[in-house]
Amino acid sequence: MRRYVQCNLCGADDTRQRYQLNSWTIVSCEHCGLIYVNPMPDAETLRAFYTEEFFQGNRRPAGYADYLHDKEIHMHQFRAYWPLIRREFPHPGRVLDIGCALGFFLDMARAEGWETVGVELSEFAARWAKDKLGLDVRTGTLLDLHLPDDSFDVVTLWATIEHLADPIGTLREAHRVLMPGGFILITTGEVEGILDKLSRGLCYWYEPPAHLYYFSTRTMCAMLQKAGFRTLRVQGVEMAPRMIGPFRRPALHGLNRWLPATGRLWLRLIYRVGRYALELIGLIPSQRVGNILVALARKP
């Protein structure tokens, strides 16, 4: 089932259609600019969507080619941006990972001495993380769990916020469970990035019904502020060629296996030359070439 929703950021009910993809309509709010799917899948539809097939290449038109096989792709993101937290919070504490999938990040954080808790909507993924990695992962959404106030030092959402039916509600709940002075780290697609500008809706991030919300720097800052956070850093960063979305899709999974040996060097070269050429002729500003949005904020 589908349900019509108002803007999750400002509450307005005034939108214009941007794209029609996979029978889903993507709109933008005329008041605040937030981009989202509307009508949106209901809670039961979302729960039924994130099955084992979503993680192993059999869920079309959205899903992963092979989440387990692509572990290093996900670990690359964790290793790249986790130091942002470590610089602000140098000693191991307690971390909550929202949308933890198979638990790869939690396993890494635990190895560094952190006490870890995960939240995952997919029953399959939560069970895999518990059975295979021995992690504390709770099935459901953060809003379902009623965790204690001020109980975590860090909350992370690695490529998760775009999947949420209620991102502002989740951020407010994350604010509640964070200790004063605690940090939240978010990564997601950037709708102001180069791939979005050139692809006109064909970029990997536009993947309904898996991805429901699409953020710019401005809308991410506004949502964090509305949830009670003090934003420290929100910026677009270049997506490494190994993380470019089309190479994670089932149809090109065989190509993805071949590319590490030879093709990725050429892909990286073409990507960088094209990027700098677009900067040089002024089609994109040099400081806004990325298509991953990284946000770091603090609970006052």
Average pLDDT estimate for 188-216: 76
Whether residue 259 is contained in a domain is answered as: yes
Structure confidence at residue 178 (pLDDT): 98
Most trustworthy range by pLDDT among 17-21, 100-104, 284-288: 100-104
Whether residue 36 is contained in a domain is answered as: no
More confident residue, 291 or 118: 118
Q: Output 245-249 pairs: Cβ under 8 A, ≥24 positions apart.
A: 245/203, 245/204, 245/205, 245/207, 246/204, 248/64, 248/65, 248/70, 248/73, 248/204, 249/65
For residue 60, pLDDT over 90 is answered with no
Structure confidence at residue 248 (pLDDT): 39
59, 53 contact by CB (below 8 A): yes
For residue 235, pLDDT over 90 is answered with no
Q: From the CA atom positions of the chain, what is the Rg in Å?
A: 19
Average pLDDT estimate for 6-29: 94
Whether residue 2 is contained in a domain is answered as: no
Whether residue 34 is contained in a domain is answered as: no
For residue 89, pLDDT over 50 is answered with yes
Cα–Cα dist 291/265, whole Å: 20
Whether residue 240 is contained in a domain is answered as: yes
Crossing angle of the two packed helices 217-226 and 167-177, in degrees rounded to 10: 50
Give the CATH number for residue 221: 3.40.50.150
Say what percent of the chain tops pLDDT 70. 76
Average pLDDT estimate for 89-106: 96
Give residue 228's domain range: 42-298
Q: What is the pTM of this model?
A: 0.83
Phi, psi angle pair for 156, to nearest 5°: -125, 145
Whether residue 7 is contained in a domain is answered as: no
Structure confidence at residue 220 (pLDDT): 97
Whether residue 28 is contained in a domain is answered as: no
Structure confidence at residue 57 (pLDDT): 72
Tokens in use for 25?
């309509």
Cα–Cα dist 69/65, whole Å: 9
Structure confidence at residue 63 (pLDDT): 77
Q: Give the confidence band of 291 by pLDDT, cuts at 50, 70, 90.
A: confident
For residue 47, pLDDT over 60 is answered with yes
* Count: domains in the chain: 1
